[in-house]
Amino acid sequence: MKDDAARPFYKDYDEDHSVLYAIIGLYNLKSQFGLSENSVTEILKWVKDILPKENTLPDNYRTVKKCLKGLDLKYKYIHACKYDCMLYSNEREEKDECPICREPRYVVCENGKDKAAKHRK
């Protein structure tokens, strides 16, 4: 992991943008937009293809996960409005309905249990 933090994408590349920088940025995009593991792998393939051949980016999402595992990153799911009007956090954590669009926070599943209409990492 230390090596990834210092290793540039390829020889003579800007040192401010290491492999670890790219991995964390890609992981953030995956979380923010709900990208699948396959889509992240395809993005990595495409980026690797447009960089010089000696680039050191990972080949697939599984390798990205291995790199990040050592960082012990934690995330918390936060309920969100069905239409992304708001997040149910802080002072809104106890609300059962979006104050903006009035959509309910929970939906009833087939098994009769409530689940969040939507959540974010």
pTM exceeds 0.85 for this model: no
DSSP line for the chain: -HHHHH-BSSTT--TTSBHHHHHHHHHHHHHHHT--HHHHHHHHHHHHHHS-TT----SSHHHHHHHHHTTT-----EEB-TTSS-B--GGGTT-SB-TTT--BSEEE-TTS-EEES-EE-
Q: Over the stretch 61-117, which tens digit does the pLDDT of each residue have?
A: 998 888 887 777 666 778 888 898 999 988 998 999 999 999 999 988 878 778 888
